[in-house]
Amino acid sequence: MTYTFASATILLLLITDPFGNIPIFANALKNVAPARRPWVILREILIAFVVLLTFMFVGESFLRVMNLSELSLQIAGGVVLFLIALRMIFPPPASEAVEVVGEPLIVPLAIPAVAGPSAMATVLLLVSQAPERRMEWIGALVVTMVVGAIVLLMAERIQRWLGERVVIAVERLMGLILVAVAVEMMLRGIKSFVAQLPG
């Protein structure tokens, strides 16, 4: 599956799911002073960006060390995306939410809310498929992080403007699109695997 700058950006936005992260950030930051929250959000987004950027640069070496092929990464990435998408469409009960005491650092906001396993697998996949376009993928990641930061910084206003039901509906729609992307990744990976089998 060949990605463009636009399609890679959209894919990263779907995976990092800024609208879906609104309740996670709200819960984690409820014990943080309101004046401090924007700085915490920006710090966590920056940490997530550094983590994903690191994966972009060490991804190929990691695949070689682990003796993993691009094909296995594509199929595994599709499976992980599919599971993430199902959680977006059918979220777990609120009782499963992690209770954060004090100011959160790295966990659970930067990792795994923003830079989760699916985001890491996706940046690895992008770079492994087209390493010569690394600067494009970095640009797509920058746009994704900027949009995510804007959404999370304006979370309270967004919830007031759109209402909780509309925010939930948007997340379900993003989950549905991500299911289609995940299935496409798995189908292409399986097709490539079958084509490599000896006749």
pLDDT digits (tens, 9 = 90+) for 59-90: 778 778 888 777 787 788 788 778 878 887 88
Distance (Å, rounded) from C-alpha 173 to C-alpha 150?
20
Q: What residues does 154 pair with on adjacent strands? A: none
Asked whether the predicted pLDDT for residue 169 surpasses 90, the reply is: no
In one-letter notation, the amino acid at residue 50 is V
Can you say whether residue 106 is alpha, beta or left, with left for phi > 0 and alpha for psi between -120 and 50 degrees? left
Confidence grade of residue 153 (pLDDT, cut at 50, 70, 90): very high
Q: What per-residue confidence (pLDDT) applies to 92?
A: 73
Q: What per-residue confidence (pLDDT) applies to 11?
A: 92
Lowest model confidence (mean pLDDT) among 95-104, 109-118, 181-190: 95-104
Contact 158, 22 (CB under 8 A): yes
Top-confidence residue, 42 or 29:
42
Q: How many domains does the chain have?
A: 1
What average pLDDT is seen over the chain?
86
Asked whether the predicted pLDDT for residue 135 surpasses 90, the reply is: yes
pTM greater than the 0.95 cutoff: no
What are the C-alpha distances in Å from 157 to residues 12, 44, 143? 24, 20, 21
Question: How many DSSP H helices and E strands does the chain contain?
Answer: 8, 0
* pLDDT tens, residue by residue, 39-66: 999 999 999 999 999 989 887 787 788 8
Distance (Å, rounded) from C-alpha 142 to C-alpha 182?
23
Contact 134, 58 (CB under 8 A): no
Contacts of 4-8 with CB under 8 Å at 24 or more apart are: 5/136, 5/139, 5/140, 8/126, 8/136, 8/137, 8/140
Confidence grade of residue 110 (pLDDT, cut at 50, 70, 90): very high
Q: At what angle do helices 5-16 and 18-28 cross, to 10 degrees?
A: 30
| Domain of residue 47, residue span | 5-196
